[in-house]
């Protein structure tokens, strides 16, 4: 470079800068764009392969899934057989009275009229519900045991809106028994 004239040095510098600019333009304009595109396609391929693996696993377990579906369908059919049907008022009263034989200390002499309507349990739930208010007297512990056992034995029936008040006897004095009132909400068997 020592022997080049000043003008030739400037031309060489301009050619070098031009070449560097073109190479940088190609890098940022074409190569980096292609690398980004390749990275994106690789990520899409990996996600698709993962999804395919999940599908293959599910397909491989299709017999097991079908068996479980049949078991759960049978379990649902068994539960629906135990749900309220026919004369709903008589069904609920008979269910409560039959269950009450296990809890003789709980006295339930009052039953209200039944109300049947759409369920308030969950939106778009495929069952209707029947609601009946009952009232009676019991000791606190006996009532708690009755409620716990009742809801455990009948998973399609809920006891709601429990109201407890101090009990009173016929002479106006307070009794140790509590007066209670609660709603019995039973799911109604769908029409076949």
Average pLDDT, the chain: 85
**pLDDT digits over 33-49, tens only?**
788 888 899 999 999 99
- Say which residue, 8 or 42, is predicted with more confidence: 42
**pLDDT digits over 54-69, tens only?**
888 888 888 888 899 9
Work out the pLDDT band at 1, boundaries 50, 70, 90: low
Residues 6+ apart with CB under 8 A from 182: 133, 134, 147, 159, 160, 161, 162, 163
Token pair belonging to 77: 């059919």
**pLDDT digits over 158-189, tens only?**
899 999 988 776 655 567 888 999 999 988 87
Residue 53 has pLDDT above 50, yes or no: yes
> Sign (positive/negative) of CA torsion 4, 10, 12, 16?
positive
Work out the pLDDT band at 192, boundaries 50, 70, 90: very low
Residue range 143-170: mean pLDDT, rounded = 88
Residue range 112-141: mean pLDDT, rounded = 85
Are the C-beta atoms of residues 186 and 130 closer than 8 Å to each other? yes
């Amino acid at each position: 470079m020592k022997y080049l004239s000043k003008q030739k040095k400037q031309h060489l510098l301009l050619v070098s800068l031009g070449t560097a600019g073109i190479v940088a333009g190609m890098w940022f304009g074409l190569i980096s764009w292609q690398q980004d595109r390749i990275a994106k396609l690789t990520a899409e391929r990996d996600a698709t392969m993962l999804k395919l693996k999940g599908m293959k696993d599910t397909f491989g377990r299709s017999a097991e899934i079908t068996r479980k579906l049949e078991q759960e369908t049978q379990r649902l059919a068994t539960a629906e057989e135990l749900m309220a049907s026919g004369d709903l008022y008589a069904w609920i009263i008979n269910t409560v009275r039959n269950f009450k034989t296990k809890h003789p200390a709980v006295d339930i002499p009052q039953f209200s009229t039944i109300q049947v309507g759409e369920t308030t349990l969950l939106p778009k739930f495929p069952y209707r519900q029947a609601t009946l208010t009952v009232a009676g007297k019991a000791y606190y512990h006996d009532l708690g045991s009755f409620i716990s056992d009742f809801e455990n034995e009948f998973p399609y029936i809920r006891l709601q809106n429990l109201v407890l008040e101090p009990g009173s006897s016929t002479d106006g004095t307070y009794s140790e028994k509590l007066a209670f009132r609660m709603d019995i909400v039973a799911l109604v068997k769908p029409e076949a």
